[in-house]
């Protein structure tokens, strides 16, 4: 069933403040060395401002992957150099069952390439749009897996900053994979950049104040509300960011609570969407422990959930490996024909973590 909420586009980004000086955790995964000729490009899975994501198949192990291709000139012109480098550096550090894996990166004269998991079940957004809203136990399952992913990121001093159903993918077994780390960064203390998706912004971001990792817990509250009702708490039929931001700053007292909401669900949403970050669940003395111990999550076996031992409420209809039918179809526009071409490289030095790879066959 269609709902009247279009896919949210991220906000424009202001210049990022300098990252804090912290020792980055060492990558847990050996970084692979890849080149275009290692893969057969199958189809486009998605498009964006800087490029597109392709389904590809490895010529070596015959497994399917997703390759994110970013046009360097567009990344530079839209002042996304730091965010692009942050995405790569963050994903190199992270290995978690509910977070997408980055297997390697490379670049050529015109483009950056990120080799990632192919997650065949598509976006949680699509499932939610089809369902209109989720029953309480279904929303709880996805929220609990997201909470585990956020807690892992925060344990590495990583702030995510773009939680929404569009960025949660479903694996073949129905478990989640948090994807799209374009706004993520290492943040040991606070930061101030205005970025994210409008409906999911915490009040301190809207007010352009410094903020910490608790904005991710705020966004979890918004996500739970959207999963249970079908729309974010401050949604308007006609988007008006000024009105939206005014409602966000007024806090949860302005929310119209659907009658079907369980009392415990309402309570955890209120505690996650608390306007005062010092009183927000996930950001107090017990950290994420307050979230995990909330009565709404009482029946969740966190150890079994983390081990993917609990059956997911929805199993994607997948005919076999490489089935991308859960994703929208996009015209390929012969984009892949332009990859790997020789030419002037004006921006390569801005992306030192992306190694160069020739298009010659191994």
* Partners of residue 46 on adjacent β-strands: 53
Q: Are 274 and 281 in contact (CB under 8 A)?
A: yes
* Residue 162 a catalytic site member: yes
* Partners of residue 44 on adjacent β-strands: 54
Give the angle 118-122-128 at the CA atoms, nearest 5°: 155
**What are the DSSP calls for 110-122, one per residue?**
SEEEEEEE--TT-
* Residue 330 tokens, joined: 């996009």
Sign of CA dihedral 12, 18, 21, 27: positive
* Partners of residue 185 on adjacent β-strands: 159
CA separation, residue 111 to residues 43, 79, 87, 106, 114 (Å): 18, 16, 15, 9, 10
**DSSP code of 343?**
-
Chain CA centroid to CA 344, Å = 33
Q: Is 77 annotated as a binding residue?
A: yes
d(CA 183, CA 324): 26
Task: Pick the catalytic residue from 38, 117, 162, 216.
Answer: 162
**C-alpha torsion 150→223→179→40, nearest 10:** 150
Let me know if 256 is exposed, middle or buried by CB neighbors in 10 A (0-12, 13-18, 19+): exposed
Please give the radius of gyration of the chain, using alpha carbons only, rounded to the nearest integer.
20
Instruction: Provide the annotated binding site for ATP.
Output: 77
Catalytic residue numbers read: 162
Instruction: Provide the annotated binding site.
Output: 77
């Amino acid at each position: 069933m269609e709902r009247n909420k279009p896919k949210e586009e991220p906000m424009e980004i202001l210049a990022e403040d300098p990252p804090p000086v912290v020792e980055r955790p060492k990558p847990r995964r050996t970084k692979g060395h890849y080149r275009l000729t290692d893969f057969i490009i199958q189809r486009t899975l998605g498009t964006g401002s800087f490029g597109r994501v392709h389904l590809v198949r490895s010529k070596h192990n015959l497994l399917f992957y997703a390759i994110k291709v970013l046009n360097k000139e567009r990344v530079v012109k839209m002042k996304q150099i730091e965010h692009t480098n942050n995405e790569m550096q963050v994903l190199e550090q992270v290995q978690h069952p509910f977070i997408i894996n980055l297997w390697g990166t490379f670049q050529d004269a015109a483009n950056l390439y990120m080799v990632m998991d192919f997650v065949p079940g598509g976006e949680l957004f699509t499932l939610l749009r089809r369902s209109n809203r989720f029953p309480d136990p279904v929303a709880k399952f996805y929220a609990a897996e997201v909470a585990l992913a956020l807690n892992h990121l925060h344990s590495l001093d990583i702030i995510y900053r773009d939680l929404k159903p569009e960025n949660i993918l479903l694996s073949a077994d129905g478990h989640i994979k948090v994807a799209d780390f374009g706004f993520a960064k290492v943040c040991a203390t606070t930061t101030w950049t205005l970025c994210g998706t409008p409906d999911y912004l915490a009040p301190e971001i809207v007010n352009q104040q410094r903020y910490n990792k608790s904005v991710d817990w705020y966004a979890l509250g918004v996500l739970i509300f959207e999963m249970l009702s079908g729309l974010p708490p401050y949604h308007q039929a006609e988007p008006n960011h000024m009105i939206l931001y005014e409602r966000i700053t007024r806090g949860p007292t302005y929310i119209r609570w659907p009658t079907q909401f369980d009392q415990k669900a309402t309570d955890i949403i209120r505690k996650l969407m608390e306007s005062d970050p010092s009183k927000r669940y996930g950001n107090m003395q017990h950290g994420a422990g307050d979230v995990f111990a909330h009565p709404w999550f009482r029946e969740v076996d966190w150890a079994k959930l983390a081990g993917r031992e609990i059956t997911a409420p929805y199993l994607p209809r997948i005919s076999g490996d490489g089935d991308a039918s859960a994703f929208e179809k996009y015209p390929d526009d012969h984009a892949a024909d332009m990859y790997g071409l020789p030419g002037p490289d004006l921006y390569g030095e801005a992306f030192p973590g992306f190694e160069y790879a020739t298009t010659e066959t191994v």
